[in-house]
Amino acid sequence: MRGVFLILKLAALALLGYLLVFLLTGYEPASPGYRPPFVLVILDMINLYIHEAGHLFFKLFGMWIYILGGSLFQVLLPLALLIVVWRQNNSQIWYPGFWMGESMVNVSVYIRDAPYRKLRLLAQGLIHDWNWLLSGDQDSSEILGGAVYWLGIALCTGAIGAGLYFGIRDFIEDRVYVPED
């Protein structure tokens, strides 16, 4: 039975590997022909709701934190889940780790779009968070967006590596362990 779980875990890791390649090569939500894998459509929709909730939660702390709160909460929620999972069962950290990395890649696109404002927002007339935060500064948006992007990619890669490590470790421990009669 545990062999089936290993196969499912490896299939999930293969899917995450495919998504990582997509994040590296084709993740351009502002482009007209953008067609992400279905899993990313769902994940980005979840991220969008979390982002908007972040604005609501941080509204009490002033305009700057209110505007930053969307992107901040979008990254902090997967981080909180990562910490909880780490404390409960660290062999499963690769799930929230990948989500956090993907969320950071998503935020990086928003940051890099600050001077151009090509991304479609939820409604017309809304403030583009990062254009407002960076005052349309193209240089800082590219640098900050690039740093967040590569950190997100590193997290996704590390999450896949952790999943492989723990999956192989669990498989080896199951093969070595022989229950006593």
Dihedral of CA atoms 163, 165, 167, 172 in degrees, nearest 10, equals 180
Alpha carbons 156 and 18: distance in angstroms, whole number: 11
Q: What pLDDT was estimated at residue 17? A: 96
Confidence (pLDDT) at 177? 57
40 contacts: CB under 8 Å, gap ≥ 6: 19, 22, 27, 102
pLDDT of residue 180: 61
Which tokens in the block code for residue 87?
A: 């404390």
80-99 confidence digits (pLDDT tens): 999 999 999 988 999 999 99
Low-confidence stretches of the chain (pLDDT < 50) are none
The pLDDT, as a whole number, for residue 108 is 96
pTM, two decimals, is: 0.91
> pLDDT value at position 129?
92
As a whole-number percent, the residues of the chain with pLDDT over 70 amount to: 94
What's the CA gap between 47 and 72, in Å, rounded? 11
- Residue spans per domain, the chain: 2-175
